Chains A and B, each alone.
Chain A
Amino acid sequence: MRSPDTLASSATRHRIPPRWWPWCSTGARLVLAGVWAWAGVAKVGDPDAAVRAVRAYDILPETFVKPFAWGLPFVELALAVLLLLGLATRPAAWASAGLLLVFVAGTASVWARGLQIDCGCFGGGGQAAADATRYLRDMGRDGLFLCLAILVAAGAPSRLALDNLARD
């Protein structure tokens, strides 16, 4: 049986060195910026398809479908720019987390109601064949992005960020 001292030193050996945390946060921030940029660019090209994709979720009243479908890609692109520049990083990361939670909840709702749709997360959307729905995969992917957002929002301040200029 190992002594508590041995356990502590073992745990210490496997811990990420504190000086790496800002770089982990930086990596997560840039990955998240890339995800938002990808999602926004994929959706912005076809405003009518975006409207149909949002309608397919059958959640929002018709009055809000178009503002949501048309505003969402621009919000995603705005978050991408903020995260890429490292400007208002923590609020942008919390906003990202909130938006990702909305996506996870929307997918769960569609799944629970037995609808068969493509999430339209990166363009496209609308109906999917029964064997082509990927709700678990979509929710898992958004969950992963959510973890990255929380890491950026609540973790160490990231490097290569405009926020650091204000701090200095």
Chain B
Amino acid sequence: MWWVVGAVIVAAVVVGVLVQRSRSATEHATITHPNSAVGPHGGLLVGDANAPVTITEYGDFQCPVCGELHQLWEPTLEQLIQQGKVKFEFVGLEYLDRGTTESLRSASAAVCAADAGKFLDYYNALYNGQSRTENSGFLTNEQLQNFASSVGITDPAFARCVNSGRYTGWVTKNTDAASQRGVTGTPTVLLNGKVISNSVAADPAGLTDAVNHAAGQG
């Protein structure tokens, strides 16, 4: 009877690969590359392009730890960006979607906000208005539009961008690329391409010291 099990396992692997490949969003993603995605890791870039230090966040708008980090580092980060010391790269991922597309659509909507010239405001609004529970159905397209209105995005192109899922393929590909790069969770923070611990990123003094050190001023 060993041949039965062997044949069944081989058949299961072949069928599994064929079926799952046809269902994989990554395999079938149609990519529209955003103009603002000029970061070194393919993410959206904010700040002076000549700033000596790049801080990269791999984030998921449903991720509660990302929300906590945002609360802790946002004033310091914005100050460092305004001082021209830091350019900030955000790579939105869909790691926490479980039977929903809330991470995917919110990360895509952030790109739509970048097209409208309001990325950082929208990014702040999404984290500040985060739901307490993941995959709760909170991040509907209507809610994503409400966040946009709250930061002054009035162009109807934003709603068209969100509703058509213009950048979902790009987010899906970014998520796969991040996984291949060894980013296994969110938030993952890089400073000039090297991972720094979330505790350093969340500490205003620690983050400032790390940036000054990387900029050669420490």
Which residues of chain A have a CB within 8 Å of any CB of chain B? 44-52, 55-56, 58, 62, 66-67, 69-75, 77-79, 82, 87-88, 90-92, 95, 115, 117, 123-124, 126-129, 163
Contact = CB atoms under 8 A, between A and B. Distances in A.
25 contacts: A48-B26, A48-B172, A48-B176, A51-B179, A52-B95, A52-B176, A56-B184, A70-B16, A70-B19, A70-B20, A71-B13, A71-B17, A74-B12, A78-B8, A82-B8, A87-B4, A91-B1, A91-B4, A91-B5, A92-B5, A115-B184, A117-B184, A126-B95, A126-B184, A128-B185
Given A52-B175, A52-B179, A71-B14, 19 more contacts: A52-B95, A52-B176, A52-B184, A56-B184, A66-B17, A67-B13, A70-B21, A74-B19, A75-B9, A77-B12, A78-B12, A82-B4, A82-B5, A87-B4, A95-B9, A117-B184, A123-B98, A127-B185, A163-B1
The interface residues of chain A, by DSSP majority, are classed as: helix
B205 interface: no
A82 B6 CA distance: 12
Interface of B: 1-2, 4-6, 8-9, 11-17, 19-21, 23-26, 65, 95, 97-99, 172, 175-176, 179-180, 182, 184-186
A62 B176 CA distance: 12
A33 to B, nearest CB: 14
The interface residues of chain B, by DSSP majority, are classed as: helix
Nearest to B14: A71
